[in-house]
Every structure is written in structure tokens, then in C-alpha cells.
Chains A and B, each alone.
Chain A
Amino acid sequence: MKTKLIINGQDRALDADPRVTLLDALRNHLGLPGAKKGCDHGQCGACTVIVNGRRVNSCLTLACMHDGDAVTTIEGIGMADDLDPLQQAFVRHDGYQCGYCTPGQICSARAMLDEAEAGWPSFVSEEMDGAIDLSQLSDEEISERMSGNICRCSAYSNIVDAIREIAHEKQGASA
């Protein structure tokens, strides 16, 4: 099945069995091993990438379903010599231990902040009026919105610290 993908801004062509998931396409066919295979069943979030601006579990979608789609992986967010502010915040706050879940956490957090900025409520939002103040985004909100990303080392409190810092800065920048 021939599929064209735009990955981290580059056109990539894939010709693979239709059974190949987006995750396996990235890791095994396209040389992008940043997205991780944790559970392979959508339960852990380690495979999270951003498709057309939205975070998804790349293990639960077929590559052939994404012809023409724009995919951002952790490699497109920042590499060791050019870290994204969110990655820097994870380093600063020690938001990981083994690091296996981190690419998924960062892709997820980045898209999550866009969702909150767009006014999407969460299950713990008291008001459902479509207005979210990023500078006031509570730890409870961050935890609920990030619940699709499991960290077996349980670095959760530091992950929340890193995301909170960026959320509050992001609001400052756009104000």
C-alpha cells in the first residue's frame, strides 16, 4: 500500500503492508525510533505523535490511513543539540527516570497545551464555557489532561512541574 506522509516537514513515501501501524512505520520503515512502543494497545501513551496538529496513539492507527497527513514526532520537536523549551523544562525538573515514556509525554504535552489554549474543557474543568487560562492551569487539570501517558518510574510530580512552567510561560508570551 503506497502512502505519502509529511513527517516533521519532509515528504516521505511508504510502501508497506496495510497492517503496518503508524508507529511501526515510523520506527521500522522510516528510521524514526523516537516514538516508543510500550503496550502497543493504546493504554500507555509512549507512542504518542502529533497528526495534523492533534496528539494520537500511533500504535492504534494504520499508516495507510494517513495518506497526505502531517506527522510530528519527537525528532521534529527537538534533538539533543536543539531542545524545545518543553524538553528543556523536562530536563530542568527531572521529569523522567528511565526516559522511555518521555518522547510520548512531550508530544502529548505539547498538543495538550494547544488543546487547552483552544478552550477545550477536561473532565475536571468546573466551567464548561470554552475559556481556559493557561496561566492558571492547575495541577489537577494537567494530570487529567495527561492521563493517557503512563510513567512506570512515576516521575509524575516532576512531569507536572515541567508542563506547568511551560503552560504559564506560554500564556505570558501570548498575552
Chain B
Amino acid sequence: MRPFEYQRCDTVTDARQAGAGGSRFIAGGTNLLDLMKLQIETPQDLADINRIGLDTIDETDEGGLRIGALVRNSDCAADARILRDYPVLARAILAGASGQLRNRATTGGNLCQRTRCSYFYDTAMPCNKREPGTGCGARGGQNRNMAVLGTSEHCIATYPGDMAVAMYALDATVEIQAADGGTRLLPVRQFHRLPGDTPERDNELDEGELITAVLLPKPVGGKHGYRKARDRASYAFALVSLASVVEVSDGKIARADLAFGSLGTRPWHDPRLEQLLVGEEPSKALFEKAADTLLAEAKGFGGNDFKIPLARRMLIATLADATGLNAAGEPA
């Protein structure tokens, strides 16, 4: 690990000043410290924000919840209100990492976690995300875990997390405090960036900006689910995952909020899916059309070609399950 200056912040104001001075924030540290040990991240100044508060879940005036940025993943996933009204979020968090990691990992930090692309991690290989302009090792390399949607010629790495995928399905909002003290709200669906020609920028946070909370809208009901395909049953990143909030009313789909993990370069929400599904009678033909739409622009790189049929089957099975059809998408 490269040497750094360490500063312990006691208040949000301390943190804002540290951010304005160019410090990197450290909260749970489970991703940042790992990357610092490998010298992939080399901050000169670290500001420890673990003691600045922002660690409660509170009800909002709109009837939703405000999850403080420092709320640990394990507390969020065990919160009675989250379990009752937003089970998709609890399930997604519990699908990720291990008990030990969830006890440290925070709501804000989890949103900012970096890719687990093995070329990003291997400092002897080219990687435009780690070192802009060096090329992409994954494109012609082992790309089994890479994205099939949202890729660019510069980067095909996935955003690896689970929590954010559920937040995309729930259409949550990220509350951000700028280094000058101003606050802005950003829909989570706009928080992560496509790689384009600047893959080194994972998200829309500007230097010194601090996530202060994630806001969940008023509960919407419906059937919540988080399906995750992975190489082992637990403690593994997704090959493809799907967060779903689906409601059927009078025999027609009334709600279909869907977001995919590890399929794209960012958590993947395609607004065309709900436009296509809502108001329609559930059927296998309809679900296949949704899968065609989702994957129309999907592009595999050899090793990850399997993700396209996997996502297709996962979408159809999830919609069938949530609307009461059998696994083949026919009336049960």
C-alpha cells in the first residue's frame, strides 16, 4: 500500500472540507482498501467518514424512506420497513458478499464499488479504466464475466454489485452533497456512467462530492424478487441478476419494474420493457418479445456470449413466476 495521510472526520462538515481539499472518503473500506493493497487505488489523503452520522433510516414526507449513506448493508437488509415494503432491496443486499462484508459495507460506498474485471485488477495488463489509454485486456481475453450491453471499444467491464440493481428497479434517488455545501438529487438510474471513451469515470460524482443518502419512493406493492445466477451458491458475483417488482391487476400487468445486474456496464434498466409489458395480459409471447427488446443490442465477446440466452431465460422465468404462469410462460 502506498503511504497516505489519514484524517478522522467527526461531522458532515469535516467530511465536506476534507472532500474540498481533495481527500478520498473511506467508509466500510471493503473495496477501497482491497484496491489500495494492490496499488490500483493510490489516494494521498484518506478521510474516514465512519463517525459523521448519516447512519439511520428515516421516513420521508413523501411516504418513502431515506437511507443514510453510512447505513451498513446488514442493517439495511434487516430493517423491518425495508423487509416489509422493499423486500427486493433486502434480497439483493443479502445476495451479495458475505456476512462479514455486509457488516462493514455502507449504502453510499456500495454504490461506488468498482468493477471486478480481472484485467482491471491485474496491473501488468492493459486497462482503460485503471490506466486510461492503455487499451482493454478483456476484449480479446478471458471475458466470461464481462458485459454484453452498454460496452464501448474502450471498456466492457460490468458494474458488479447487487444492492444498486434493486435500487434501479425501485427508481431510488441519490442525495449528494457538493464540496461547496450544496445538495443535489440524482435518480439512481442516472448515477452510473456508460464507459464510452472515459471508462475511468464509474459514476457522476464530481471531485469532493459526498453521497449523503439514498431515497426510496413510497412503497409500490407488487411481487418483489431478486434472482441471481452465479458460479457457486453463495459469496460470488453475479453472472446475471434480475431485480423485479411486478404487479398483476385484473389479469393485466400493472407494474413491471425490472433491472439487471452484471449484464451491462452499469446496472441495467431498460424503460422499453415496462412500456411493452404494462397493460398487457401475461403470456409467453409477450415475455419473449420483452426479452427480444432487452437484448436487441446485446453483443457478446466470445466467453460471455452465454449471458445473452441466460438473461433471456431469467427474464421470461421471472415474469412467468411473478404473473402466475408456469416456467414455460404458459398458464399454470
Say whether A associates with B.
yes
A139 at the interface (CB under 8 A from B): no
Determine whether A170 belongs to the interface, using a CB cutoff of 8 Å to chain B.
no
Picked from B46, B77, B94, the residue with its CB within 8 Å of the CB of A18 is: B46
B87 touches A128 (CB 8 A): yes
Which residues 37-72 of A have a CB within 8 angstroms of B?
40-42, 45, 48, 54-57, 60-62, 64-65, 67
* Nearest Cβ on chain B to A121's Cβ, whole angstroms: 7
Chain B hits for A76, CB < 8 A = none
Query: Hey, what's the 0/1 contact readout for A67-94 against B, CB within 8 Å counting as 1?
Result: 1000000000000000000000000000
In the bound assembly, the distance between CA atoms of A57 and B34 in angstroms comes to 11
Contact with A121, one of B3, B6, B29, B83 (Cβ below 8 angstroms): B83
What residues on B are CB-neighbors of A54 within 8 Å? 74, 103
User: Does A112 make an interface contact (CB < 8 A)?
Assistant: yes
**How many Å lie between the Cα of A129 and that of B6 in the bound state?**
41
Cα–Cα, bound, A62→B29 (Å)? 8
Which residues of chain B come closer than 8 Å to A17, judged between CB atoms?
3
Interface residues on B, range: 35 or more
Q: How far is the CA of A122 from the CA of B189 in the complex (A)?
A: 27
Does B37 make an interface contact (CB < 8 A)? yes
Q: Which of B3, B104, B233 contacts A60 (CB 8 A)?
A: B104
B50 beta carbon closer than 8 Å to chain A: yes
Per-position contact with A for B80-96: 1 when CB-CB < 8 Å, else 0?
A: 10010001001100110
**A67 to B48, alpha carbons, bound, how many Å?**
12
C-alpha spacing A118/B95, complex, angstroms: 19
Interface size on A, residues (CB 8 A): 40
Complex Cα spacing A122 to B235, Å: 12
Interface presence of B185 (CB below 8 A): no
B234 at the binding interface (Cβ < 8 Å):
yes
A173 to B130, alpha carbons, bound, how many Å?
53
Residues of chain B contacted by A48 (CB below 8 angstroms): 100
Known contacts A18-B6, A18-B46, A65-B50; decide if A57 and B83 are in contact (CB<8 Å): no
B30 neighbours in A (Cβ, 8 Å): 42, 57, 60-61
In chain B, residues 94-119, which have Cβ atoms closer than 8 Å to a Cβ of chain A? 94-95, 97-101, 103-104
Q: Is A152 an interface residue (CB 8 A)?
A: no
CB of A123 within 8 A of CB of B83, answer no
For B98, the closest partner residue in chain A by CB is A148
Residue pair B100, A122 in contact (C-beta under 8 Å): no
Beyond A55-B103, A62-B29, A65-B50, whether A148 also contacts B97 by CB under 8 A is yes
Smallest CB–CB gap between A103 and chain B, Å?
13
Judged by a CB distance under 8 angstroms, whether A99 is at the interface is no
A147 with B235: CB separation less than 8 A: yes
In the complex formed, the residue of B with least CB distance to A39 is: B34
Residue from A60, A112, A144 in contact with B29 in the complex, judged by beta carbons closer than 8 Å: A60
Partner of A41 from the list B3, B6, B34, B91 (CB cut-off 8 Å) is B34
- Is B33 close to A, CB under 8 A? yes
Determine the chain A residues whose CB is within 8 A of the CB of B104 once the complex forms.
Answer: 56-57, 60-61
Would you call B1 an interface residue if the criterion is a C-beta within 8 Å of the partner chain's C-beta atoms? yes
- A56 vs B30: C-alpha distance when bound (angstroms): 10
- Contact code string B4-23 (vs A, CB < 8 Å = 1, else 0): 11101000000000000000
Q: In this complex, which of B50, B78, B83, B99 has the most chain A Cβ atoms within 10 angstroms of its Cβ?
A: B99
Q: Show 28 residue pairs from A and B whose CB-CB distance is below 8 angstroms, ordered by the A residue.
A: A18-B5, A18-B6, A18-B46, A19-B3, A41-B34, A42-B30, A42-B100, A42-B101, A54-B74, A55-B100, A57-B104, A60-B29, A60-B34, A61-B33, A62-B6, A65-B29, A112-B99, A119-B78, A120-B74, A120-B78, A121-B94, A123-B234, A128-B91, A130-B78, A147-B98, A147-B235, A148-B98, A148-B101
Write the residues of chain B forming the contact surface with A, with a CB cutoff of 8 angstroms.
Answer: 1, 3-6, 8, 26, 28-30, 33-34, 37, 46, 48, 50, 74, 77-78, 80, 83, 87, 90-91, 94-95, 97-101, 103-104, 233-235
- The 6 A-B residue pairs whose C-beta atoms are closest, nearest first, are A148-B98, A147-B234, A18-B6, A147-B235, A123-B94, A120-B78
Q: Apart from A41-B37, A60-B30, A65-B50, what are 5 other A-B pairs with CB-CB below 8 Å?
A: A48-B100, A60-B34, A62-B33, A130-B80, A148-B235
